[in-house]
Amino acid sequence: MSNLSNPASAQNLDSFLEDTTVTGTIDSSNAISEILFDVPTAGSLDLTFSLMLEEAGLASKNTFGLYDTANNKFFEIFAGEATPGSTLSASITSESQLLIGGMSYDLAGPVTFYLSRNLRQSSETFLSNDIYSGMPQALMYQGEGEEIRLNDLNTPLTNNDYLIGFEDRKGRRSDKDYNDMVVLAQTVLRLPEPSEPAIPSNDVTIPEPSLLSGLGMMAILGMAKRRTA
């Protein structure tokens, strides 16, 4: 079995996942076509990214990150110097803020993933749901209870966990092995703690007995008037 931090040479995505899956099966038969993370309505969506495999000749130039689908902005998670075993955490808050590495960025809408060699050139930037010449640019999987080996630990995958295997060449130029960058994204929705109930105040003024009698009589008269009407 391969250690995800030190993957075997020239593995395609299927063989890599076969070697690193402890229980269950992850292969092209259960790939999904799109992953979108919405801004949560409350609390924050915490994401942990783990770089699992990178078998690209352009590994030192490839970057991976989040793409805001509403305002066409890119937010880097792994730079070219990142290596398998690297991890990074981020959060999307209900205030439409993306928090990465101590920095805060405004979000306009749902985010997905990108791989790029040069963000200034669209021909070298790919989104995870791109399809060219009938071929997806990334193979993606949502956890269904499988267990994988991650940094020497058996790690269960839930439906809040996602595997993304990217190609860094477009369409027919692709070698279709989807191993140029493989990332595990684990998500946790953290809701705010419920607020404490208000503490009753003891500073309540009790009317004098004579005033209470008067108020009671007024209430009775009011009821009588409503009934009569």
Order the strands of the 111-116 sheet from edge to edge: 73-78, 63-68, 111-116, 125-127
Position 207 in a domain: no
Position 90 in a domain: yes
Position 212 in a domain: no
Q: State residue 145's pLDDT score.
A: 95
What is the residue type of 4?
L
Position 5 in a domain: no
Position 209 in a domain: no
Cα separation, 60 vs 121, in Å, equals: 17
Q: In terms of residue numbers, what domain contains 116? A: 13-190
Q: State residue 122's pLDDT score.
A: 85
Cα separation, 155 vs 89, in Å, equals: 17
Helix (H) or strand (E) holding 18: helix 13-20
Q: State residue 175's pLDDT score.
A: 86
What is the pTM for the complete model shown?
Answer: 0.80
Position 225 in a domain: no
pLDDT averages per 10-residue partition of the chain, 229 residues: 42 92 91 95 97 92 97 96 96 98 96 93 92 93 96 94 95 86 97 74 55 41 32
Position 130 in a domain: yes
Position 217 in a domain: no
8-state DSSP, 133: T
Q: Which two tokens stand for residue 148?
A: 């994988």
Q: State residue 221's pLDDT score.
A: 33
Q: Provide the number of structural domains found in the chain.
A: 1
